[in-house]
Amino acid sequence: MTSFLFISSGLFLGWSLGANDAANLFGTAVSTKMVKFTTAAVIISIFVTIGAVFGGTGTTETLGALGSVNALAGAFVVALAAGVTVYLMTCYELPVSTTQSIVGAIIGWNLFSGRPTQLDVLYKILGTWVFSPILSALFAIVFFKIAEYIVKNCRIHLFKIDMFTRIGLILVGAFGAYSLGANNIANVMGVFTKTSILASLQIGFITLSNTQVLFLLGGLAISVGVFTYSKRVMSTVGRNIFKISPVASLVVVLSSSVVLFIFASEGLESILLNLGLPTIPLVPVSGSQAVVGAVIGIGLAKGGRNVNYKLLGKIGLGWVLTPLFALIISYIVLFFMQNVFMHQVYF
């Protein structure tokens, strides 16, 4: 029971990921009534959980290399610090990402426990934060140009475009949910993997390792976040943040999902290794920032009009502020957990 109490902070983080980041996948589709909210929520829940359980190990290893949180109470504090940072920054309408807050919180644990932070891993992670929105923008430019060419030259009836867009939004949304689960589950549950609190599980023919069971719980927490809170976030995303056409929103979701996927896919990593090509690091990246990158990409593809360059500045601010806040909160709460509540936060 105590174990479950300790992973509650991770579940809270999962809930906020479901409420916020998942909304990016279907925000425009739901707010423009192209896809019903219930359909979107069911698709996200299923695929985010599949992604988390079967594709989440790659990014978890990277976070583990950054800081191997080995005590349950310590993992609880790290996830709590990340969750509180996300909550506080959201309250003050500051740009925030679960990825950046968990990294800050882990570094806070490293500092508190006196473990060295692997700088090469840290630089790799920081590099992907900068690189992922840029990559997402590049993908968006390419996909947008392809979509524009097809719409302009293929004489497709308006109703058929609408139908293909709907189907596309559902398929790409499912792919996006899978990628989000695979890439971001490390943020939610990654810190608990070294603490081995759960046993493995047999469901029919499938055997889930203890880490996968943990990720399954994380996936369910994300699903709860989707069903309980993402509807209003979706309408904000659709109406206020990027008011774009359904076809353009399809491009945005596809581009950001591909980015999340390539930074999480072990399959892709092994293909690149076999081909003797340089691999892409498996790092949790921010889905929201990939979306912003894709929206800017579309703006650039349209000739640079209506591009909100302030958003870029905000993202940059988020790279610095989020980990810093999470680090400070993590350090302070670890101190209290060890010295006031008398729980061992590291071994």
User: Judged by CB, which is closer to other proteins: 30, or 216?
Assistant: 30
Letter string b/e over residues 17-50, b meaning 16 or more CB atoms within 10 A of that residue's CB: bbbbbbbbbbbbbbbbebbebeebbebbbbbbbb
Q: What is the DSSP string of 251-286?
A: HHHHHHHHHHHHTT-HHHHHHHHHTTPPPPP-----
**CB neighbours of 148 closer than 8 A, spacing ≥ 6?**
301
The CA-to-CA distance between both ends of the chain, in Å, stands at 21
User: Judged by CB, which is closer to other proteins: 43, or 264?
Assistant: 43
From the CB of 237, what's the least distance to other proteins, in Å? 16
For 92, the token pair is: 């003050």
Contact in structure between 286 and 263 (CB atoms under 8 Å): no
User: Judged by CB, which is closer to other proteins: 50, or 151?
Assistant: 151
Backbone φ and ψ of 283, nearest 5°? -135, 135
From the CB of 295, what's the least distance to other proteins, in Å? 14
SS3 203: strand
User: Judged by CB, which is closer to other proteins: 83, or 246?
Assistant: 246
From the CB of 40, what's the least distance to other proteins, in Å? 14
User: Judged by CB, which is closer to other proteins: 156, or 332?
Assistant: 156
Backbone φ and ψ of 196, nearest 5°? 45, 60
User: Judged by CB, which is closer to other proteins: 160, or 232?
Assistant: 160
From the CB of 333, what's the least distance to other proteins, in Å? 46
Please report the sign of the dihedral spanned by the C-alpha atoms of residue 149, residue 155, residue 158, residue 161: negative
From the CB of 249, what's the least distance to other proteins, in Å? 10
Please tell me the distance from the alpha carbon of residue 293 to that of residue 72, in angstroms, as a whole number: 36
Residues forming beta bridges with residue 206, ordered by sequence position: 203
User: Judged by CB, which is closer to other proteins: 246, or 284?
Assistant: 246
Contact residues for other proteins, defined by CB under 8 A = 32-34, 144, 147-148, 151-152, 155-160, 162-163, 166-167, 245-248
From the CB of 230, what's the least distance to other proteins, in Å? 20
Please tell me the distance from the alpha carbon of residue 238 to that of residue 133, in angstroms, as a whole number: 19
User: Judged by CB, which is closer to other proteins: 232, or 243?
Assistant: 243
Q: How many Cα atoms occupy the beta-carbon half-sphere of 95 within 13 Å?
A: 21
From the CB of 131, what's the least distance to other proteins, in Å? 27
From the CB of 44, what's the least distance to other proteins, in Å? 20
- 3-class SS shares of the chain: helix, strand, coil, % to 5: 80, 0, 20
